[in-house]
Structure 1
Amino acid sequence: MTGIRWGYALNQWDTNIDAFVRKRDHERAFKTISISGFSGVELTAVSFGPWEPFGSPEEIARLYGSLDGLRAFLADCALEAVSSYVYDPFVGFDVEMGRGPDPLDPDSREPIAATALWFADAVHRLGGDSLVVRPVGSAWQTGELSDQQIGTLARLWNEVGRRVAEHDVKLALHVDFLSALRLGDGIDRLLAATDPAFVGLALDTAELAIAGIDPVELFQRHADRVRHIQLKNARDTVDDAEAVNPHAEQFVRTEGGERRIERWFFEPTDEGGLIDFEAFARAVAESDYSGWIVVESDQSPRPAESAMVSGWYVQKVLRPIVEGRT
């Protein structure tokens, strides 16, 4: 298997808006990711201004001088690239910590596309190739999506995908475990309505598993549309009834719901996890997938340890399977 690069998500270090703002902290995280066997790092788009130095190209420029300055810093830490940016349109960048446009509003097409281009340009210049986007809001906000809503989303993401492709960046739709796309056959319907040349899928193993969707089966069914992979584990599931709780992002995801789940996401090596990662790796090996595989553990209390354990598992178990050496 060729054309696969392995990255690690920075989000487990960056847990509070004022906790990860110094270059020395960045250097430690980047070097830990590098010595753990990863060649790239995934960043998340947020609008906390200077409290989030990787939240936008503008903030990167303030701290590192330019995107080229950050890429040189990454190289000094033995990392090749920023693999990808994760962008949620509901995050507003016009006002710090503001709310952004709703993908279901047809008038949101231009502002979403403009922001997406901002991040696509950054990804390209930082050596990566993927813009991972949250395509729609949560299930409690919309219920099962209508055909009209699917059409609105398809027109938006087709246009965004066409524009970011001009920067040699792939658009990948990310389905989180509270997404409206978890209801019914929302994922299949949106993929069918979008242009495969410009719109792909970001397959997140843990988010899907928590939503009760088998990530191995989904990958096998839509392998030709997968443009980006995120690997993390999960122990618990959330059914549709729990997902439609009002303000589920706060009540379920942040506070753990009525069960008070303290942590939703774990390392791929977690013994209590729901996901068969070796089966997933075999499915990838049997496909034509080419792109980044990013490992996450975004609620880890010990981020360096999680990165190193995950790196060992990738190098000794998953990578040999993906590359057809076992």
Structure 2
Amino acid sequence: MKWSYMDHWRSMSPHGPIDQWESRTSMDRFLKQVAAVGYDAIDTFDFRWYQIMGEYGSVANYQEFVQERGLERIVNTFHAADYDPRVYAPHVPETHANILEDFRVTMDRWSGIELDNIIVMPATLYYDMEPVTEDKIKTTAELWNKVGAITKDAGVKLTCHHEFFCGIQSRAELDTFYAHTDPELVNLFVDTAQHCIASVDPIDFYESYADRVTGFHFKDTRHQDLIGDYRRRPDSEIMADTTEKWFHEMGDEGGLVDFENFMRAVVRHGYEGYLSVEHDKANKLGGDHAESTAIARWYAKNVLEKVAAEEVAR
């Protein structure tokens, strides 16, 4: 069982808060901390390519820098697209040519290393897509089938991650989307907290699509969105006045995700890839990314890995 860390991170410096991409020194400290508490690898964002090229010269050079700090490799990259219904929106056919070209360029940029997955949010923000209709979901699915063919040719799986504010987020919308996508080309990346916030049982959802799941974001939440915060502009995670902090580390006392039973399901279905831990906006309300990262790794080792071993022994 191997654990990867999705590289959300903030820390303090003499000139205020920074992320790990501030300098080689800050990246060096970040990677050593992640490796020291027992993670095996990292995930990153596709838009970091620009910083990688500027600081390290190539993605292969950056991966070598990562490996020299004790981590195995970069496992996944998240393609955080700037969705705009005028030029880049999966439910708008007129934007598909632009999106397809974007992915051809993207796969070339990352061709210097071996990635497992390129992760996408497969729809625009909900308020830009609604009313969400079956026809719009079918149009969206058609696009991702084509994108999946591009990534497959590059040796990388296309996998879909559904935020609670994504245009495809309810169980009915999810089922419609996966019914119209090719399982050979379009996979699923389960985010335990995001689905829970959207009132989708992450265990039941995972078990329904386990044969298409190519990764996870393990994080917890204390809240479900029961009043339509997913429609808030411009950022549901920031603008919702009902919830100051959406995400917490695994093992959080008030968390809603049943991680022990989730892990049992993962083992039963024979998943063999990396398990990714994510702490999006962990520094809100006085939180600390380094602390959350260590706590989550403790929980993974002392709770989830033991649960997994027990399930294997049955």
Q: TM-score, length-normalised on structure 2? A: 0.88
With over 3 angstroms needed to count, the CA separation of the structure-2 counterparts of 1:78 and 1:254, relative to structure 1, is: same
Please state if 1:126 is matched with 2:113. Answer: yes
For 2:125, the equivalent position in structure 1 comes to: 138
Please state if 1:149 is matched with 2:132. Answer: no
One-letter identity of the residue aligned with 1:318: L
State the distance in 2 between where 1:263 and 1:100 align.
32
Cα offsets for 1:259-300 (capped at 9, x unmatched): 2x2211110021110101001000000003232211011222
With over 3 angstroms needed to count, the CA separation of the structure-2 counterparts of 1:320 and 1:144, relative to structure 1, is: farther
Please state if 1:258 is matched with 2:241. Answer: yes
For 1:322, the equivalent position in structure 2 comes to: 308
State the distance in 2 between where 1:169 and 1:117 align.
12
For 1:105, the equivalent position in structure 2 comes to: 92
Aligned length: 303
Cα offsets for 1:162-203 (capped at 9, x unmatched): 110112211111110111212461100010000000101110
With over 3 angstroms needed to count, the CA separation of the structure-2 counterparts of 1:265 and 1:226, relative to structure 1, is: same
Is the contact made by 2:249 and 2:292 (CA closer than 8 Å) also made in structure 1?
A: yes
Please state if 1:223 is matched with 2:210. Answer: yes
For 1:79, the equivalent position in structure 2 comes to: 71
Please state if 1:161 is matched with 2:148. Answer: yes
1:113 is displaced (CA, Å) by 2.6
Structure 2 counterpart SS, 1:34:
helix
State the distance in 1 between where 2:141 and 2:83 align.
20
For 2:25, the equivalent position in structure 1 comes to: 24
For 1:291, the equivalent position in structure 2 comes to: 273
One-letter identity of the residue aligned with 2:246: W
Higher relative contact order structure (alpha carbons within 8 Å, sequence separation ≥ 6): 1
Please state if 1:188 is matched with 2:185. Answer: no
Structure 2 counterpart SS, 1:185:
helix
For 1:309, the equivalent position in structure 2 comes to: 295
Structure 1 counterpart SS, 2:274:
strand
Any stretches of 5+ residues in structure 1 without a counterpart?
47-54, 93-98
Is the contact made by 2:193 and 2:219 (CA closer than 8 Å) also made in structure 1?
A: yes
Aligned-pair identity in percent equals 27
With over 3 angstroms needed to count, the CA separation of the structure-2 counterparts of 1:5 and 1:116, relative to structure 1, is: farther
State the distance in 2 between where 1:240 and 1:289 align.
35
Q: TM-score, length-normalised on structure 1? A: 0.85
One-letter identity of the residue aligned with 1:267: E
Any stretches of 5+ residues in structure 2 without a counterpart?
none
State the distance in 2 between where 1:174 and 1:134 align.
5
Cα offsets for 1:188-219 (capped at 9, x unmatched): 00100000001011100011111111101111
